[in-house]
Amino acid sequence: MSEDRSTDPFDLFRALNPFDDEPDELSTADEQLLARILATPVEPTSTEASRPPTRRCLAVVAGLVATASLATAAFTFLRSEPVTNPTAVVCYATADVIDGDRVGLGSTDDPVAACSAEWRDGELRTDGSVPPLVGCVNEAGAAAVFPGAGDVCERLGLPNLEQGLTDDQIAITKVQDTLIDLFLDRCFAEDDAVAEARRQLNAAGLDNWTAKPAETFTEDLPCAGVGVIVDEKVVIVVGVRPEN
Amino acid sequence: MTDDQATREREYESMFRANIRPIRAFTASMVSAAQVDDVVAATFMSAWQRFGDIPSDAQRPWLFGTARNHIRNTRRTDRRHLALVDAVETDPTWQATRANEYDGVEAHPVLDAIRDLDDDDRELMLMTGWFEFTPDEIASILDEKPGTIRVRLHRVRKRLMDRLDSTGDTGATA
């Protein structure tokens, strides 16, 4: 190669590698993650959970799981937490946060019921049957719903979902849903979209929330989309591609 | 605790400490900030459950492959949720957090050029540049042929060189 080493993009990038001197110390969050993982029992390897059972088998299994769930609940301390991020729900096809298929949903005040509907619609299992479902809270603070027994959250190292949202959480999820519907229905220009978002926030009584433009509208991204930044209490209006 | 359990925990912890930062950085480059913790936790939880199956001489490629699977799953959303994700992914706040794999790294034109690559090419650059995977290792992670990876690397290099040439700013010091 005759390229000047100092101008080769790969060399330039490698020279900026921040991982040459990896510190031994972990962040507090990563120390906590490590401790949580090490405290999680190792499950025996099984392919049962990922193989869709037949409808007949499912009825039997569902009954057994329900019984086992009740028995386990009597003897297991289950940590429960409310969601901190009410704007999304994830429905998992198996009790496996890594390999399980999943469907992401927008906000809902009843994540288990919403995921149950996804199962019935065949989004997670083609025969449309619905297994026992358990709500947990994932690492992002959002609701995650898994099929399985009552201890499924504990086995995954997650807190159980404490059903119910605060009034403000319900209000912002409704505003989010309304704006998504409006913005999917027709193409809002940036100013109109911000005004609409402010109107919806006011109507919902969310006085401590703000709506801001992200100034990302372009010729290719001429229509409004909505983002909710829960921690900052901000509804942000951004440019997205038109629907068809 | 049995000796086997203690050994497993010790070896797992060693793997965790050696790989958490690269996996976190890689994940941050591929998903929104709100999803990073979820993907990282799931990746290492999976590694804990399957620790016995992870080749001791290929732990990092295994972790990257697993993280990629989880990232792919995270992106599988219904149309309604996509409307929201699309919006968030175009949000400059999200873009800023998405770039946090560069935390602590001096600003450099090559970083801007790499940030502008599409997801597949940026992933390739991170793997080869910062995580020091060989083309063969990348091929195993991405389930591609090594020859395909070499061709892709060649093309990315050319694209980056063209971009840096066109701006006339390589950031290179004399």
B73 vs B6, more confident: B6
**Domain extent for A176:** 167-240
Of A24, A100, A180, the CB nearest to B84: A180
| Total CB pairs under 8 A between chain A and B | 192
How close A159 gets to chain B, by Cα (Å)? 13
Q: In angstroms, rounded to a whole number, what is the distance separating the alpha carbons of residues B37 and A29?
A: 9
Chain B, residues 76-105, CB within 8 A of chain A, namely 76-78, 80-81, 83-88, 90-94, 102-105
A92 and A58 fall within a common domain: yes
Interface test with A, best of B11, B13, B81, B170 (most A CBs within 10 A): B81
pTM above 0.80, yes or no: no
A192 and A215 fall within a common domain: yes
Establish if A7 belongs to a structural domain. Answer: no
Of B41, B94, B172, the CB nearest to A139: B41
Contact (CB<8Å) A216/B91: yes
The pLDDT of residue B39? 85
Domain limit, last residue, from A114, A140, A161? A161
Per-position pLDDT tens, chain A of length 244: 444 445 788 888 888 777 655 556 788 888 888 998 888 877 654 333 333 322 222 222 222 222 223 333 323 334 678 888 787 788 888 888 766 677 777 667 788 988 998 888 777 876 778 899 999 988 777 889 999 888 899 888 888 998 778 888 888 888 887 888 888 778 899 999 999 999 999 999 999 999 988 777 778 778 888 877 777 788 888 777 776 5
Domain count, chain A: 2
A145 and A52 fall within a common domain: yes
User: pLDDT band at B1, cuts 50/70/90?
Assistant: low
Q: In angstroms, rounded to a whole number, what is the distance separating the alpha carbons of residues B138 and B152?
A: 11
A87 and A55 fall within a common domain: yes
Is 60 exceeded by the pLDDT of residue B94? Answer: no
A60 and A152 fall within a common domain: yes
Q: In angstroms, rounded to a whole number, what is the distance separating the alpha carbons of residues B96 and B102?
A: 10
A53 and A157 fall within a common domain: yes
Lowest mean pLDDT among A105-109, B50-54, B129-133: A105-109
A232 and A185 fall within a common domain: yes
First-to-final CA distance of chain B? 59
A91 and A188 fall within a common domain: no
How close B26 gets to chain A, by Cα (Å)? 12
Establish if A16 belongs to a structural domain. Answer: no
Establish if A11 belongs to a structural domain. Answer: no
Of A88, A98, A236, the CB nearest to B70: A98
A171 and A99 fall within a common domain: no
A56 and A151 fall within a common domain: yes
Lowest mean pLDDT among A194-208, B50-64, B86-100: B86-100
A140 and A195 fall within a common domain: no
* The token pair that represents B39 in the structure block: 């993907």
Domain limit, last residue, from A145, A161, A177? A161
B26: buried, middle or exposed (CB in 10 Å: 19+, 13-18, 0-12)? buried
Q: What are phi and psi of A133, to 5 degrees?
A: -120, 145
A133 and A172 fall within a common domain: no
pLDDT tens column, B10-48: 999 999 998 898 888 888 777 766 678 888 998 998 899
pLDDT tens column, A133-154: 999 988 777 889 999 888 899 8
Domain limit, last residue, from A132, A161, A190? A161
B132 φψ region: left (φ > 0), alpha (ψ -120 to 50), beta (else): left
pLDDT tens column, B144-169: 888 888 999 998 888 888 888 877 66
Establish if A23 belongs to a structural domain. Answer: no
Establish if A40 belongs to a structural domain. Answer: no
ipTM: 0.73
The pLDDT of residue A2? 44
Q: Which residues of A touch B40 (CB under 8 A)?
A: 33, 139
Establish if A152 belongs to a structural domain. Answer: yes
Contact (CB<8Å) B130/A17: yes
Sign, CA dihedral A86-A87-A91-A95, equals negative
* The token pair that represents B158 in the structure block: 């050319």
Domains, chain B: 1-92 (1.10.1740.10), 105-174 (1.10.10.10)
Contact (CB<8Å) A225/B84: yes
Establish if A99 belongs to a structural domain. Answer: yes
Establish if A57 belongs to a structural domain. Answer: yes
